[in-house]
């Protein structure tokens, strides 16, 4: 027994000597990466924080250019005083000029890297990702700040859920195209989400402005804390704490296909420009809100057909209800001829504490 114990102890000592030591203070830990198309090459920018003795965070940026992604990573390593590691990467950003050319080969390299988590956030940048990452946002470091900005807007506002896992999954689905939020640098200390970038199977082909994001999220995701203003003549209400859900049904017995989208919404009136809210007024605003939802979502769906993109996943649902489904026929003729019917149901459950 004693001999066995000595043997195990000796073996563990030998094996521990074979493990490569990684000291955190001796590594540059990336929290954000950005990629731009400039001068016929891909420009890669990585950001890693340095934590100062006074608990402040210094944002360090390295930049390299190349036509080949692997060379960018090698050149960045050559510029770093410590090994660059990707285990804490929070966000990957892509300049709009690169997005319009296509960057899916970069997504593939992210997915193949075992050190990069599948839940990192992705976004398109209106402008230069390099310039954006060189700003100073908040006190937690730029990578964490951008991640928190996207988290907040996905949870409480109008940005649909998106991350590396979902984006990569949509890329490989025949019946759905993908999308990403668009971020813009307002100034050196402030960022803003300005819209949604929509992709076909290869590149960005359409951009939704911020005012359309609420209705886009109704179609592709669900709201948990959204808000929207509704007007009737000179009166206006702001409906907050909106919870939404959707149900999409495809009728393949009609030619062309007929798609019915039921959208259910519950909300609370938080602001009203009139004097007093009655049940009659609430009903009028519910109907006005329903008409607005129907109008805006139908407009979006027609734009998607025009650009041959399907972020809602209509094709995926059509395949599920159709035998011997033909994808070539779907994208060539069927999808562009689909007729849509929006059935919104709005219920205002409260009008505030003051009657």
Residue 111 has pLDDT above 70, yes or no: yes
Domain boundaries of the chain, sorted by first residue: 26-209, 222-355
Calculate mean pLDDT across residues 293-300. Answer: 97
pLDDT at position 12 = 57
Helices (H), 80-190: 96-101, 104-112, 129-133, 142-156, 164-171
**What does CATH list as the number for 222-355?**
3.30.300.210
- Half-sphere exposure in the Cβ direction for 309 (13 Å, CA): 23
252-275 pLDDT per residue, tens: 998 899 999 999 999 988 888 877
- Rounded to 10 deg, the angle between the 104-112 and 69-79 helix axes is 60
Residue 23 has pLDDT above 60, yes or no: no
Calculate mean pLDDT across residues 342-353. Answer: 83
3-state secondary structure at position 51:
strand
Task: Sort strands 258-272 and 235-251 into parallel, antiparallel or unpaired.
Answer: antiparallel
- Half-sphere exposure in the Cβ direction for 26 (13 Å, CA): 3
Residue 321 has pLDDT above 90, yes or no: yes
pLDDT at position 19 = 45
């Amino acid at each position: 027994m004693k001999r066995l114990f000595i043997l195990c102890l000796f073996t563990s000592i030998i094996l521990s000597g074979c493990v490569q030591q990684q000291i955190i203070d001796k590594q540059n830990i990336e929290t954000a990466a950005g990629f731009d198309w400039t001068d016929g090459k891909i420009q890669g920018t990585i950001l890693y924080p340095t934590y100062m003795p006074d608990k402040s965070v210094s944002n360090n940026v390295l930049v390299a250019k190349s036509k080949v992604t692997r060379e960018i990573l090698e050149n960045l390593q050559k510029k770093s005083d410590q090994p660059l590691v990707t285990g804490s990467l929070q966000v990957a950003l892509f300049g709009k000029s690169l997005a319009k050319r296509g960057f899916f080969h970069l997504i593939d390299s992210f997915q193949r890297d075992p050190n990069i988590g599948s839940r990192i956030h992705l976004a398109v940048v209106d402008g230069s990702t390099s310039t954006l990452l060189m700003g100073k946002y908040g006190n937690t470091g730029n990578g964490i700040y951008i991640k928190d900005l996207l988290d907040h807007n996905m949870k409480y506002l109008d940005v649909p859920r998106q991350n590396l896992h979902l984006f990569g999954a949509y890329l490989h689905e025949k019946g759905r195209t993908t999308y990403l939020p668009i971020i813009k640098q307002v100034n050196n200390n402030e960022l803003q989400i300005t819209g949604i970038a929509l992709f076909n199977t290869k590149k960005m082909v359409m951009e939704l402005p911020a005012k359309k994001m609420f209705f886009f999220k109704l179609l592709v995701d669900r709201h948990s804390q959204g808000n929207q203003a509704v007007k009737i003549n000179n009166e206006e209400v702001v409906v907050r704490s909106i919870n939404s859900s959707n149900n999409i049904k495809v009728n393949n017995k009609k030619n062309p296909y007929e798609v019915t989208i039921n959208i259910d919404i519950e909300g609370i009136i938080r602001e009203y420009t009139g004097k007093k809210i009655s049940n009659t007024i609430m009903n009028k605003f519910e109907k006005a809100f329903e008409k607005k939802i129907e109008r805006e979502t139908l407009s979006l769906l027609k734009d998607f057909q025009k650009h041959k993109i399907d972020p809602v996943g209509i094709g995926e649902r059509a395949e599920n209800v159709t035998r011997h489904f033909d994808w070539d026929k779907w994208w060539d003729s069927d999808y562009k001829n689909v007729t849509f019917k929006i059935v919104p149901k709005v219920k205002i459950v409260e009008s505030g504490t003051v009657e």
